Structure 1
Amino acid sequence: MKRGAFNIIELIFVIIILGILASVVVVKMSSMTRNAKEAQLKSFVGTLNRSVGPAIWFKSIENGREGSIAFADYDTDLGKYIEIIPNYTSAPALVNCNESGDGIFVSYLFGKNYEVYCRDGNTTTSPRFRLYNQTDSIYMD
């Protein structure tokens, strides 16, 4: 007896298998997107610490502000060096930088809550930025 096509049971099994594979792909893709956003935030904070923070710190010392970057504004100072990652939940504010390092510079929500903290500079120490995963309560540097 010659079979010309699939029977209904075989088609149902194929559809179920394709559905399972599709769900695995969707889960993996969402995980990859979150990991990519997290890597982007880590890179952003690294750039702030290595080049942008020291540049603004030097400008602060040069202008007699004793190394404090709390005066700086994104549009006039920070925007020359780096572009803020879009979709933040709290606007960038260097005025929140303080000596203890718990001032929130900017916040993001990419599946988890992330905050970029800022410790203000002084005459001997440059400012420091840290990425904090608020959802898991861990610093990511």
Structure 2
Amino acid sequence: MRKSFTLIELIFVIVIIGILASVAIPKFKGLTANSKIASELATASTIQSAIEDVHDEWVTNEGSFTWGNGRSSSELTSTGYPIKLGDCPPAFNWILKNSSVVDNKWTCQDNGGGIFTYRGPASQSNSGVAENGAGKPDSNDCWEYNATAGTFNLKENCS
């Protein structure tokens, strides 16, 4: 009766594990990049919804009301959209009830004329995702908020 494995059996098992690992490891390679992209897209969707909520409230009330984190209707454009989404930095403290979740992951810049650019986890120029060209945020892209139109859109190849 045999109580141990032979050397050939052990080598065979090691070869099988190596083959399985070589197939599985590439699947996990893009996991971090995909999570950054998903996080950024989810935050952008939340921002756009919050902007639309403020505008809907402006249309409904036709006057004085508070929105976001205690902001008054005087901080809206003539078309009913927020003049800006936050103090820059922090990025979204005007529009999101709990902006601290994204504060350290998003940067912003006031470009003047009601145009602001934002960069999230995937679009940071120093720690973002490599160029993907698939309409998803990467380190060459940014988000642009236009206060006049109330749009928060991904802008490809930001300078």
Q: So what's the TM-score if we normalise by structure 2?
A: 0.55
Corresponding residue for 2:147?
A: 121
Check 1:116–1:45 CA distance in 2 against 1; reply closer, same or farther (3 A cut).
Answer: farther
Alignment of 1:13-92 (within 5 A): 13-52=12-51, 55=54, 62-63=74-75, 66=78, 67=81, 69-70=83-84, 72-75=86-89, 78-80=92-94, 81=96, 82=99, 83-84=101-102, 86-87=104-105, 91-92=107-108
Specify every segment of 5 or more residues in structure 1 that has no aligned partner in the other structure, as ranges.
135-141
How far apart in 2 are the matches of 1:133 and 1:10? 54
Specify every segment of 5 or more residues in structure 2 that has no aligned partner in the other structure, as ranges.
59-70, 131-137
Query: In the TM superposition, what is the alpha-carbon distance from 1:46 to its structure 2 partner?
Result: 0.3
Q: Helix, strand or coil: the match of 1:78? A: coil
How far apart in 2 are the matches of 1:85 and 1:71? 12
Write the letter of the residue equivalent to 1:104: T
Check 1:27–1:84 CA distance in 2 against 1; reply closer, same or farther (3 A cut).
Answer: same
Query: In the TM superposition, what is the alpha-carbon distance from 1:68 to its structure 2 partner?
Result: 6.4
Query: In the TM superposition, what is the alpha-carbon distance from 1:130 to its structure 2 partner?
Result: 2.4
Corresponding residue for 1:11?
A: 10
Q: What percentage of residue pairs aligned between the two structures are identical?
A: 23
Write the letter of the residue equivalent to 1:121: A
Asked whether the equivalents of residues 68 and 120 of structure 1 are also in contact (C-alpha less than 8 Å), the reply is no
Number of equivalences? 124
Corresponding residue for 1:130?
A: 153
Say which structure is richer in helix. Answer: 1
Corresponding residue for 1:105?
A: 118
Q: So what's the TM-score if we normalise by structure 1?
A: 0.60
CA deviation profile, 1:9-28 (whole Å, cap 9, x unmatched) = 22112112112222333322
How far apart in 1 are the matches of 2:9 and 2:156? 47
Check 1:96–1:55 CA distance in 2 against 1; reply closer, same or farther (3 A cut).
Answer: farther
